[in-house]
């Protein structure tokens, strides 16, 4: 009999990704209502101390798969280890963050397990017939599809910043289980030799609570310093539209949109962005959207909660100064 809701916890160098804690927070109430255990599954190397980091967010049980071959994420090794564990334990549902790792791993697990999956979901609720049902944006965010599965386990990836982070319960206790990584040699097709990370004090774009993005209206790469100055005051990540990336003004890793990263921050500030449907598809689920544009007819204003018609080169520095006053 299938049992439990599993959260595949994403970690890097002993740091838990925020989206994994968001999933635990949301799944806790669903697990309680369904009478199911909530299980956090952590794969990696030297991860024994990570159980204490996820337990306060609602886990009843933490499964640790500790193996040197899992030190760095590779598709083959993680798919092999998790596929066999899921088949052995038969959980009701397996949930991952819709991150680079989640988007790579989830469809491969679905193929191995012979089940469907719901991707990039922005809603999740208990369902009497399907156990879980999901809401996901379609047609560039113009509509939403309600998705339910008729096979077990239910498999889905959830967009970061979709669910609120619960207050951690330091007194919570969880069962800790150590599992051996059963990895087929044939699945070890890639070995990570080195990981080179860009160092930045700003939050990662996909998990940031605040994002300030620039588009064609930035007029050149040198002007992104205006956005960076504001971002550093309010603890924001810096983003960009495809037009700015295609012009070579900023690296593609900062691109928000259908062909870039999908984000869902609490606050999204769009500066000099016209509002092409491809860009709106990547940030339309933001909680509050502020648009700054000289063109009062710009499409971005149709989605914005607050709009400022004016020159971003005058407005953004003024906002930065006001934010500094508030911060002090």
Residues 6+ apart with CB under 8 A from 146: 133, 134, 135
- pLDDT (0 to 100) of residue 24: 97
> Within the chain, which residue ranges are assigned CATH 3.40.50.620?
5-187
How far apart CA 4 and CA 63 sit, in angstroms, is 12
Could you say which architecture CATH assigns to the domain 5-187? 3-Layer(aba) Sandwich (3.40)
pLDDT at 182 over 70: yes
On average, the pLDDT of the chain sits at: 93
Q: What is the mean pLDDT of residues 229-249?
A: 96
For 93-98, what is the mean pLDDT?
Answer: 97
Which residues of the chain does CATH 3.40.50.1220 include?
A: 205-327
Residues 51/179, Cβ–Cβ less than 8 Å: no
Q: Which of the listed ranges 193-197, 277-281, 320-324 does the model predict with the highest average pLDDT? A: 320-324
1 confidence band (pLDDT: 50, 70, 90): very low
Task: Identify the CATH class of 205-327.
Answer: alpha beta
Please report the pLDDT score of residue 198 as a whole number: 66
Tens digits of residue pLDDT in 6-15: 999 999 888 9
Cα 219 to Cα 110: distance, rounded to the nearest angstrom: 44
Pair 211, 256: CB distance under 8 Å: yes
* HSE value, Cβ hemisphere, 13 Å, CA-based, for 51: 17
**Number of helices and strands in the chain (H, E):** 8, 17
Using a 10 angstrom Cβ sphere, with 0-12 exposed, 13-18 middle and 19 or more buried, the burial of residue 292 is buried
- Give the pLDDT mean for 179-184: 88
Residues forming a β-bridge with 51:
none
pTM: 0.85
Rounded Cα–Cα distance for residues 311 and 301 (Å): 15
Contact 190, 295 (CB under 8 A): no
């Amino acid at each position: 009999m299938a049992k439990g809701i599993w959260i595949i916890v994403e970690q890097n160098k002993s740091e838990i990704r925020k989206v994994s804690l968001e999933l635990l927070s949301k799944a806790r109430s669903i697990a309680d209502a369904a009478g199911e255990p909530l299980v956090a599954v952590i794969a990696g190397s030297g991860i024994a101390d990570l159980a204490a980091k996820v337990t306060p967010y609602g886990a009843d049980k933490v499964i640790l798969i500790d193996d040197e071959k899992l030190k760095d994420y590779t598709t083959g090794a993680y798919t092999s280890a998790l596929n066999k564990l899921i088949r052995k334990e038969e959980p009701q549902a397996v949930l991952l963050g819709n991150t680079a790792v989640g988007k790579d791993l989830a469809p491969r697990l679905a193929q191995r397990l012979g089940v469907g999956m719901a991707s990039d979901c922005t809603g999740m609720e208990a369902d009497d017939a399907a156990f879980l049902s999901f809401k996901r944006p379609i047609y560039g965010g113009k509509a939403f599809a309600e998705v339910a599965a008729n096979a077990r386990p239910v498999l889905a990836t959830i967009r970061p910043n979709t669910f609120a982070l619960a207050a951690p319960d330091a007194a919570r206790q969880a069962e800790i289980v150590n599992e051996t990584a059963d990895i087929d040699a044939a699945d070890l097709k890639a070995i990570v030799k080195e990981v080179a990370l860009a160092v930045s004090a700003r939050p990662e774009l996909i998990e940031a609570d605040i994002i300030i993005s620039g588009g064609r209206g930035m007029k050149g790469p040198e002007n992104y310093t205006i956005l960076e100055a504001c971002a550093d005051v309010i603890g924001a990540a810096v983003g960009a539209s495809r037009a700015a990336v295609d012009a070579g003004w900023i690296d593609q890793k900062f691109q928000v949109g259908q062909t870039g990263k999908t984000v869902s921050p609490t606050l999204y500030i769009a500066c000099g962005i016209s509002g092409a449907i491809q860009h709106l598809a990547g940030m339309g689920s933001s909680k509050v959207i502020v648009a700054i544009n000289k063109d009062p007819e710009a499409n971005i204003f149709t989605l914005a909660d607050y709009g400022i018609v004016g020159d971003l080169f005058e407005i953004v520095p003024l906002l930065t100064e006001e934010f500094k006053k508030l911060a002090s």
